[in-house]
Chains A and B, each alone.
Chain A
Amino acid sequence: MNYQYIEQLLDRFWNCETTLEEEQILRSFFSQADVPSHLKQYTAFFAYEATLKDEKLGEDFDKRILAMTEEEQAVEAKTVKLATRIAPFFKAAAVVAVVLTIGNIAERALRDNSVSDTTVGVTDTYIKKEDITAKIKIIDHTRSEAMAKTDSLKSQTPTISQENLIIE
């Protein structure tokens, strides 16, 4: 049998030029029973590595670790329970807080509105008084003007009526 391929793989293996797949080929080759004598010296190396692969922890290890983690989990579950028990109170408190805040804001807003309303009213009436006096003055003025106009009209009217009468 020709072992050229294996020999070549082996050379490349020691020079770290093999891929993981090629290394697997070598491993399975050396794990078989009839390895040619000129390659036998390498069997122990691959066999040793194979024994290392079988090193495992005992079954009780899992139990121990899981027991350790579950212990912690139980403690954690307790704290979560406490938090969930308190949660409704927090919710209620939050609702009350929101209502109070909104109420407070609304109340303040209403109060602010009424205050500004009265000030507007005051200025309004103040302005109105001034306006009224000004308007009264204007009215007085227009009235006197109108009086003057009617006076002049009164003096003109008779002539016009006389002329009209003549035409009729």
Chain B
Amino acid sequence: MKEISFKNDVLPLKDKLFRLALRITLNREEAEDIVQDTLMKLWNQRDEWSAIQNMETYSMTICRNLSLDAIEKKERQNISLDETAHDRPDTSRTQDEELMKQQQLNTVMHIIGQLPEKQRTIMQLRDIEGKSYQEIADIMSINVSDVKVNLFRARQKVVGSINKES
């Protein structure tokens, strides 16, 4: 069996994990902490790596669960996710075209930000990470039809909002 190396096989997953955590928590610092926790958790389980069938799926499941724990904790502290979602640096340019583009991006960002976490995560895994329905189902511990239904709802909401805006 192929031996798993932390530096070569686990650490390179960091950006995927970061994007997933970011999509769920909508906060960069928090997402970074979650990736760190995920990697350390994996590191501490290194004796059991040979039993893990798919390291990427496994690490993403851990990352998602930690992210969900984090937003749950935040919700209990009554901090709105929307507040943190939009505190990105304003990179608007002076040119009209750029400004319009940025506005459109912000609109889409807002639409996606309004989606329930489940739909947002599925969309992230499908559209950004290019995962198959089965892989998404494995990561999120749900069945494939549940993945499809949620992705369908997410995309319908997005296209509905886009068509309404324009």
Contact = CB atoms under 8 A, between A and B. Distances in A.
Contacts of B11: 62, 65-66
Interface string B100-120: 010011011100100000000
A81 interface: no
B35 to A, nearest CB: 7
Interface residues of A, number: 29
A48 B148 CA distance: 22
Interface stretch (A15-23, A92-100, A124-132): A15-23
Query: Which 10 residue pairs spanning A and B have beta carbons closest together?
Result: A44-B104, A41-B166, A48-B108, A14-B159, A16-B152, A56-B15, A44-B108, A14-B155, A57-B18, A55-B19
Contact of B148 (A16, A42, A44, A49): A16
Contact of B152 (A15, A41, A49): A15
A43 B23 CA distance: 20
B7 to A, nearest CB: 7
A23 B155 CA distance: 13
Range, interface on chain B = 35 or more
A64 interface: yes
A52 B6 contact: no
A24 B15 CA distance: 20
Contact of B162 (A42, A55, A64): A42
A51 interface: yes
A42 B32 CA distance: 30
A64 B36 contact: yes
B127 interface: yes
A49 B15 CA distance: 15
A23 B128 CA distance: 11
Contacts of B128: 49, 52-53
B151 interface: yes
Interface in A24-72: 24, 41-45, 47-49, 51-53, 55-57, 61-62, 64-66, 68-69, 72
A13 B152 CA distance: 9
A53 B19 CA distance: 8
B163 interface: yes
Contact of A56 (B18, B108, B130, B165): B18
A68 B11 CA distance: 12
B84 interface: no
B71 interface: no
